[in-house]
Amino acid sequence: MNNLPIGIFDSGIGGTSVWKEIAALMPGEDTLYLADSRNAPYGERTGEEIIALSVKNTEWLLVKQCKIIVVACNTATTNAITYLRDQYPIPFIGIEPAIKPAALHSKTGTVGVLATKGTLASRLFSTTSKNHASHIRIVEQEGTGLVSLIESGRMNSGEVRELLKKYLVPMLDANMDHLVLGCTHFPYLMPVLKELLPDHIKIIDCGEAVARQTLRMLHDSEQLAGEEDPGRHQFFTNVDPGVLHDILAGLPGKKEVNYLDF
């Protein structure tokens, strides 16, 4: 069981920001990443559609005998992970905006959250906000259009820059001091965000925390692989794999990128 892969799925390439943290923390683990880019962005779909796509992704990973599944998509987590945990015996690790640490460390009492419509409208997001940030102001902003631009490899384009300028205005006007990235695609916007934001604003994503939680769950269930040999990393995408190739270029480890008619 220890040598079976960690399964990871996302509505596209964004979850590779989480995969990168997992691979760095557990270099001996094999991983299998499924990018459902053909159906991206999930954030613009109905809750029923998101659950159906998440089930499809999960069942494909189960056929590949994954020992744990990381739902590396905020929208899929907030809309579908409860259903997935009820239906399948395999452990699931989800992604949700890192509101708790932002709320704990905010000095101005205002935190911005940049996320998809599907995440912001979900019950889990509402519950998390009430539980951990009832004492502060949360300024929510839908990042409409950003996922599609990232999926096409235009992370540093003028279009991205103009959208971000518009989306950041209400959060800056509210005097935020933390910006929570509520979509796993959005860490790829970090260079542009750092250019546009004042230096004192801290940008938070959840990739490292998710990797640590994956390590804890595998350790507690005695399913960790040994570190004698480096892990093998297989990536599958149902669109042209060119952008995925580019994102992974230069990152360590043995990586295979495959097209999957899925």
CB 27 within 8 A of CB 236: no
**Of 8, 26, 71, 73, which is the active-site residue?**
73
Q: Which residues pair with 140 in a beta bridge?
A: 113
**Of 80, 183, 225, 243, which is the active-site residue?**
183
CB 209 within 8 A of CB 187: no
* 73 part of the active site: yes
Q: What is the C-alpha to C-alpha distance for residues 216 and 203, in angstroms, rounded to an integer?
A: 25
Q: What is the C-alpha to C-alpha distance for residues 6 and 214, in angstroms, rounded to an integer?
A: 9
Report, as residue numbers or ranges, the catalytic residues.
73, 183
